[in-house]
Amino acid sequence: MKRTARLIVTEACPRSCSYCCNKQPAGITTAKRCRLGEFSAKGFDEIVITGGEPMLFPERVKKIIDHCNLPTYLYTAFYNESCWDMMRQGYFAGLSYTLHEKFSETDHSRFQWLQADLVMFLKMYSNNFSARLKIHPSIPNDVIVNKALWKRVDRRPFVDNCPLPENEELFILTE
C-alpha cells in the first residue's frame, strides 16, 4: 500500500463548514506540526496537499511540492487561475474537488469553469490525471456534473471525526 503524507499547508479558509475537520479534535491531534524545512518526504510515495484552502496560497503550495518532489494530489474547493497554471505545469497528479455546503453562485461559476478547463486539460495534457469530485448532499441536484471528467464522484454525507486512513500521516506545515 502506498504511504501518503497528508499536508495541511494552511489553516486559513474563507468557508465555515459545520463538519470541518480542523474544528474536530480527532482531525488535528494526530497531526505532527513542523516547518517546511524540517519536513522530510523520505519514506512516502505521494503527498496530499490540503488545508484550510491551499489555493489561497499557490506560491506556498508550489514551494512545498518542489520541496517534496513526489506525486501530489491537491484537495481544494477554490478553483482559480493559479490552479489552472499549476495543472498545466504538471504540479499535480490529481485533484480532489469538493462542493461544500452553503454553495453560492460564485462557487457554482468556479465549478463550471473548472469543468470547462478539465475538458481541455484531459484532452491536451494528461489522460492519467486523477480528478475526483465530492458533493455535499445539500448541493442542488440541478448542478451540472460532467461525469466523463471525473474518475470518481461521491455524493454522500461527510464522515464525522475525520478518520485518517491507515496508510497516511498528517502534518501541519508552519512557515
Q: Which residues would be at the binding site for ligand SF4 (CB under 6 A)?
A: 13, 15-17, 20, 22, 51-53, 77, 100
**Closer CB to ligand SF4, 4 or 50, in the complex:** 50
Q: Which residues pair with 174 in a beta bridge?
A: 35
Q: Which residues pair with 7 in a beta bridge?
A: 49, 171
Q: How far is the CB of 28 from ligand SF4 (least distance, A)?
A: 12
Q: Which of 44, 33, 40 is nearest to 9 (CA)?
A: 33
Q: How far is the CB of 79 from ligand SF4 (least distance, A)?
A: 13
Q: How far is the CB of 123 from ligand SF4 (least distance, A)?
A: 29
Q: How far is the CB of 69 from ligand SF4 (least distance, A)?
A: 26
Q: List C-alpha distances in Å: 77 to 4, 33, 35, 64, 167.
A: 21, 23, 24, 19, 24
Q: What is the DSSP letter of 157?
A: P
Cα gap 87→85, rounded to integer Å: 5
**Closer CB to ligand SF4, 52 or 94, in the complex:** 52
Q: How far is the CB of 100 from ligand SF4 (least distance, A)?
A: 5
Q: Which of 75, 76, 152, 79 is nearest to 112 (CA)?
A: 79
**Closer CB to ligand SF4, 9 or 86, in the complex:** 9
Q: Which residues pair with 29 in a beta bridge?
A: none
**Closer CB to ligand SF4, 51 or 94, in the complex:** 51
**Closer CB to ligand SF4, 18 or 69, in the complex:** 18
